[in-house]
């Protein structure tokens, strides 16, 4: 073959290769359109605004609408087709059981839509751990459900909300996030909604899970390290579609010199369970044992939890004879999460042994 012929052959070959590459890019784009992610906004600091950029702690939560939050992160458009919906505009300490039900029903309905691939919920940090656990227990879907929040309002220097929202959408849009239970994404970490908790009240590294995070988001990509072993979402026996109301459950804080006033008041109010947030290993002072026994005789469930922050692990029949009193050991759940699980469990059973099984399994 002469040199000129060889050149023109190579030229045609090059053109063909270019066309092939171009068409495969096109095919790739057509085969894999961007996932659809719905962002449900509920308020919190992530929607907060302060008077000056130096205000990282003094500001008003729940001010900025979801349309503005999404506009501020145009990079979301490269990750997913994102639509926003304002469900509430509140600080999360004001969340009620009714709010939990409204939010969970909306999440459940969206998760059944074929045009929704993932759901993000913007939330205040104060009770995000409760909402995340509630959804983890009651939403039957394998689609990623991700709660995001921030410790600083968007008006502050070094605000963390934009990146947390971006990371949350990255996780919700990722097929690798399916069937991992409901997650909370903050400060680069992907936590399980089951055991993450707010442990610091003033800085962006506020959230910790005693058992570590599930993974991390780095530059728009999720990296996974663990699976949640406890039952969740599609593996749960609870389903928001069948829950009509949530039984009242309250937490009594344990400390030196505590008396039975709060327990008696909650029993009188009609609570169905009391979480005793005991010291150490869910310890109960001798003078409160008869008060709690009396509550139990009146049909109120007694759950021993611990207010020790990082690793309040309560062992059944240690500290108190739970078998004898028909009490429940709260396992590793902190008091506010034990409150959520007890309330959900009581929608199905009032048998304390069954409630104990539920505490081990979830
Ligand atoms: N207390 C407010 C809330 O939980 C603001 C705290 C926050 O979001 O960081 O919504």
Distance 41 CA to ligand 1 centre (A): 13
The answer as to whether 275 is a domain residue is: yes
Q: Is the CB of 186 under 6 A from ligand 1?
A: no
The answer as to whether 261 is a domain residue is: yes
111 and 51, same structural domain? yes
- Rounded Cα distance between 60 and 121, Å, is 19
The DSSP result for 212-270, as a single string, is --SEEEETTEEEE-----S--GGG-S--GGG------EEEEE--TT--SHHHHHHHHHT
- Rounded Cα distance between 278 and 331, Å, is 12
To test the ligand 1 pocket, which listed residue (91, 128, 129) has its Cβ within 8 A of the most ligand atoms? Answer: 91
The number of domains in the chain is 2
184 and 276, same structural domain? no
Write the CA distances from 146 to 91, 137, 189, 255, integer angstroms.
Answer: 18, 14, 12, 35
Last residue in a domain, options 193, 213, 235: 235
- Rounded Cα distance between 90 and 179, Å, is 29
256 and 206, same structural domain? no
213 and 88, same structural domain? yes
Beta partners for 280?
Answer: none
Ligand 1 atom having least distance to the Cα of 44: 10
- Both tokens of residue 151? 């410790």
From the centroid of its chain, how far is CA 320?
31
Q: Is the CB of 136 under 6 A from ligand 1?
A: no
208 and 65, same structural domain? yes
Digit-coded pLDDT (tens) for 113-125: 999 999 999 999 9
- Average pLDDT score over residue span 295-324: 96
> What is the overall mean pLDDT for the chain?
93
Closest residue by CA, ligand 1 atom 2: 91
- Which phi-psi region, left, alpha or beta, contains residue 31 (left: φ > 0; alpha: ψ -120 to 50)? alpha
Distance 89 CA to ligand 1 centre (A): 11
Ligand 1 atom having least distance to the Cα of 93: 4
Whether residue 308 has pLDDT greater than 70: yes
Give me the CATH number covering residue 309: 3.40.50.40
- Rounded Cα distance between 79 and 171, Å, is 10
The answer as to whether 23 is a domain residue is: no
Supply angle C-alpha 131, 135, 140, rounded to 5. Answer: 175
Burial of 13 (0-12, 13-18, 19+ CB in 10 A): exposed
Digit-coded pLDDT (tens) for 20-66: 333 333 333 345 799 999 999 999 999 999 999 999 999 999 999 99
Q: Is the CB of 116 under 6 A from ligand 1?
A: no
Which is more confident, 6 or 117?
117
In this prediction, residue 293 carries a pLDDT of: 98
The answer as to whether 22 is a domain residue is: no
Distance 43 CA to ligand 1 centre (A): 8
Distance 58 CA to ligand 1 centre (A): 11
In this prediction, residue 90 carries a pLDDT of: 98
Instruction: Name the packing angle between helices 289-297 and 261-269 (round to 10°).
Output: 10
Last residue in a domain, options 186, 203, 235: 235
Whether residue 4 has pLDDT greater than 90: no
Distance 321 CA to ligand 1 centre (A): 39
- Average pLDDT score over residue span 325-329: 98
198 and 153, same structural domain? yes
Distance 161 CA to ligand 1 centre (A): 12
Q: Is the CB of 129 under 6 A from ligand 1?
A: no
Number of H helices, E strands in the chain: 10, 14
Could you tell me which residues come within 8 angstroms of residue 214 by beta carbon, excluding any fewer than 6 positions away? Answer: 180, 183, 190, 191, 192, 224, 225, 226, 227, 228
The answer as to whether 28 is a domain residue is: no
- Which phi-psi region, left, alpha or beta, contains residue 75 (left: φ > 0; alpha: ψ -120 to 50)? alpha
50 and 161, same structural domain? yes
In this prediction, residue 31 carries a pLDDT of: 54
The answer as to whether 348 is a domain residue is: yes
The DSSP result for 140-182, as a single string, is --SS-EEEE--SS-TTSTT--HHHHHHHHHHHHT-GGGTTS--
218 and 259, same structural domain? no
Q: In this structure, what are the phi and psi dihedrals at residue 257, rounded to the nearest 5 degrees?
A: 75, 10
- Rounded Cα distance between 320 and 341, Å, is 21
Q: In this structure, what are the phi and psi dihedrals at residue 50, rounded to the nearest 5 degrees?
A: -115, 170
Q: Is the CB of 149 under 6 A from ligand 1?
A: yes
Q: Is the CB of 61 under 6 A from ligand 1?
A: yes
> Which of the four pLDDT bands, split at 50, 70 and 90, describes residue 10?
very low
230 and 275, same structural domain? no
Write the CA distances from 318 to 30, 104, 142, 235, 293, integer angstroms.
Answer: 60, 36, 37, 30, 17
Q: Is the CB of 160 under 6 A from ligand 1?
A: no
Provide the annotated active-site residues: 45
Q: Is the CB of 91 under 6 A from ligand 1?
A: yes
Distance 150 CA to ligand 1 centre (A): 8
Domain of 278, in residue numbers:
248-361
312 and 215, same structural domain? no
Digit-coded pLDDT (tens) for 153-178: 999 999 999 999 999 999 999 999 99
Last residue in a domain, options 188, 212, 235: 235
252 and 231, same structural domain? no
Give me the CATH number covering residue 210: 3.40.50.1170
Q: Is the CB of 259 under 6 A from ligand 1?
A: no
> Which of the four pLDDT bands, split at 50, 70 and 90, describes residue 208?
very high
The answer as to whether 71 is a domain residue is: yes
Ligand 1 atom having least distance to the Cα of 127: 4
Digit-coded pLDDT (tens) for 212-254: 999 999 999 999 999 999 999 999 999 999 999 999 999 999 9
231 and 276, same structural domain? no
Whether residue 285 has pLDDT greater than 60: yes
- Rounded Cα distance between 216 and 186, Å, is 9
């Amino acid at each position: 073959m002469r040199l000129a012929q060889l050149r023109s052959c190579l030229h045609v070959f090059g053109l063909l290769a270019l066309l092939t590459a171009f068409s495969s890019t096109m095919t790739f784009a057509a085969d894999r359109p961007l996932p659809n992610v719905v962002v449900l906004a509920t308020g919190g600091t992530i929607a907060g605004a302060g008077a000056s950029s130096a205000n990282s702690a003094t500001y008003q939560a729940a001010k900025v609408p979801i349309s503005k939050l999404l506009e501020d992160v145009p990079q979301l458009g490269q990750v997913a087709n994102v639509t926003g919906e304002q469900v509430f505009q509140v600080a999360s300490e004001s969340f009620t059981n009714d709010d939990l039900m409204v939010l969970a029903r909306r999440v459940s309905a969206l998760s059944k839509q074929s045009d929704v691939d993932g759901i993000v919920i913007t939330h205040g940090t104060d009770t995000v751990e409760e909402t995340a656990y509630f959804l983890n227990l009651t939403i039957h879907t394998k689609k990623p459900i991700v709660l995001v929040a921030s410790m600083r309002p968007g008006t502050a220097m070094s605000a963390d909300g934009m990146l947390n929202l971006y990371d949350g959408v990255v996780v919700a849009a990722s097929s690798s996030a399916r069937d991992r239970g409901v997650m909370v994404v903050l400060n680069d970490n992907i936590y399980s909604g089951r055991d993450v908790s707010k442990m610091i009240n003033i800085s962006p590294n506020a959230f910790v899970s005693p058992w570590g995070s599930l993974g991390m988001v780095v530059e728009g990509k999720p990296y996974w390290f663990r699976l949640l072993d406890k039952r969740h979402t599609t593996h749960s026996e609870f389903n928001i579609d069948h829950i009509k109301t949530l039984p009242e459950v309250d937490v009594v804080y344990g400390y030196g010199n505590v008396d039975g006033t709060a327990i008696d008041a909650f029993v009188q109010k009609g609570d169905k369970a009391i979480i005793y947030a005991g010291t150490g290993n869910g310890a109960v002072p001798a003078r409160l044992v008869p008060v709690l026994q009396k509550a139990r005789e009146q049909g109120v469930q007694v759950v021993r939890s611990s207010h020790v922050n990082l690793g309040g692990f309560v062992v059944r029949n240690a500290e108190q004879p739970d078998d004898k009193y028909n009490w429940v050991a709260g396992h590793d759940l902190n008091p506010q999460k034990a409150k959520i699980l007890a309330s959900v469990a009581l929608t199905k059973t009032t048998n304390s042994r069954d409630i104990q099984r539920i505490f081990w399994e979830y």
